[in-house]
Amino acid sequence: MALTETHKSLFLEECSRLTRLVFDCLQKLEKNPTDLDTIDRMVNAADVIRGGAKFLEDVDLELDSKMLIELFKGARDVGDRKKELDMMLGIFGRLVRKTHSDQVLLEL
Domain residue spans of the chain: 5-107
Q: Tell me, yes or no, if the pTM score tops 0.85.
A: no
Spell out the alpha helix ranges (H) of 1-108: 5-31, 36-56, 59-72, 82-107
Residues 29, 35 contacting (CB under 8 angstroms): yes
Q: What is the pLDDT of residue 73?
A: 74
CATH code: domain 5-107 is 1.20.120.160
CA 26 – CA 59 distance, rounded (Å): 22
Q: What is the pLDDT along the chain (108 residues), one digit of tens a residue?
A: 455 788 778 888 888 888 899 889 989 988 988 888 898 898 899 899 888 888 778 888 888 888 888 887 766 555 556 677 777 788 888 877 777 666 555 555
Q: Which of 96, 11, 93 is nearest to 49 (CA)?
A: 11
| Residues shown for the chain | 108
